[in-house]
Amino acid sequence: MPDWSAFPDPDTITLTDDSVDDSFKICVIQGVADASPSFSGGIGTRIGSIFVIGVISTFVTVFPILSQKYNWKLSVWFYLFARFFGAGVIIATAFVHLLDPAYGEIGPNTCVGGWGNWAQYSFVDALILASLFGIFLTELFSEVYVERKYGISAEEPDIQKMLTERNPQEEVEEDCPVCEEDGVSKKESTYVDEKSLASSKSTYDFKQQFAAFLCLEFGVIFHSVIIGLNLGSTDYDEFKTLYIVLVFHQSFEGLGIGARLSAIPWPSELPEYYKYLLCFAYGIVTPISIAIGIGVRTTYVSDGFAANIVSGVLDALSAGILIYTGLVEFIARDFIFNKEIKKNTVQLLYSLFCLCLGTGIMALIGKWA
């Protein structure tokens, strides 16, 4: 971190002053060189925001889970809306709420990006690539492990069709009623084979989708920590606008997370309360961060050099995670490689509309948060 005391008073610096390094001028222009805590009151409202954001974001996240558990008679169009609107929200979050701020915090034309090793390379790109490939390799080797363990490949789309169309009773009538080898009827043997195959496929689907979901939640939680700290310690005038925007921000993200979690084929041997713990983990992270921001309001400098480094690194890492999740897990798997959705033109167009709507609204929210 630069020693600002070694430089002239920021108030006396001019752009035409050749005696001052350009990197310091950038720090002065961006308000980093003379940054100080920006807290300016409204402690009661900030404390209230902890509970408001916590309750709303948790409820919206858990709502798809509850509707599934208690078999609420909700239209299939609602589930499609929640799933694909949430996907659009995540994609917009990656590009508008994470990628752009990361460049504004540690990018080449920033205060941090003009000092020391930060000036030698575009670390935003490197961090995004590192996290993106980290998630890719994690998912790849996880799939390899699961496929070898259960003997089921991700490229076996005919399994479900085989299980639903095959009728073991018809086959039994054509051959002998008893298989002499093990003393088990052919009907029972076929049923056991199909049941075992279905169980293995279900286990594979769960592990694959659950791993992707954890990557998604991990990236979103990183982002939630930073916005919570800023909300708890920012200037009160900015807080009033940011507060309203973040209620919608967290709700939309929560809806996307909950919809994805509810679509995972949950195994019967795994306790269902794990779902609620995952929803609660998302819902509680931002309120905890707000509380921490309030606690350090007199010392935390959100525009400071160190804060920009921490925020920029986390934003870049989260951006890589969510870019991969949004483009591969959501767009590619839900649209390009999903044969079923292409069979129903109305549902396809509706899903695309929800995806674009979620992306557009979240991108618009990026104007304020």
What are the pLDDT digits (tens) for 287-326?
Answer: 999 999 999 888 888 888 999 999 999 999 999 999 999 9
Integer angstrom CA distances of residue 112 from 101, 124, 210, 309: 13, 12, 37, 7
Integer angstrom CA distances of residue 280 from 61, 65, 87, 188, 222: 8, 12, 20, 44, 15
12-38 burial code (b ≥16 CB/10 A, e <16):
ebeeeeeebeebbbbbbebebbebebb
Integer angstrom CA distances of residue 142 from 137, 139, 202, 265: 8, 5, 16, 17
Cα gap 313→358, rounded to integer Å:
26
Cα gap 46→134, rounded to integer Å:
36
- pLDDT in single tens digits along all 369 residues of the chain: 777 777 777 777 788 878 788 888 888 888 888 888 877 778 899 999 999 999 999 999 999 999 888 877 778 888 889 889 999 999 999 999 999 999 999 999 899 999 888 999 989 999 999 999 999 998 888 778 777 776 655 554 443 343 334 444 444 444 445 444 544 454 444 444 444 444 555 565 777 788 888 888 888 888 888 889 988 888 888 888 889 999 999 999 999 899 889 888 888 888 888 999 999 999 999 999 999 999 988 888 888 899 999 999 999 999 999 999 999 988 998 899 888 888 889 999 999 999 999 999 999 998 887
Cα gap 261→206, rounded to integer Å:
10
Break the chain into its structural domains and give their ranges.
1-34, 42-151+206-365
Provide, rounded to the nearest whole percent, the portion of the chain with pLDDT above 90. 40
318-339 burial code (b ≥16 CB/10 A, e <16):
bbbbbbbbbebbbbeeebeeee
SS3 184: strand
Output the pLDDT for position 151.
60
Q: Which of 318, 355, 363 is nearest to 99 (CA)?
A: 318
Q: What is the pLDDT of residues 230-258, one digit of tens each?
A: 888 888 888 888 899 999 999 999 998 99
Output the pLDDT for position 174.
46
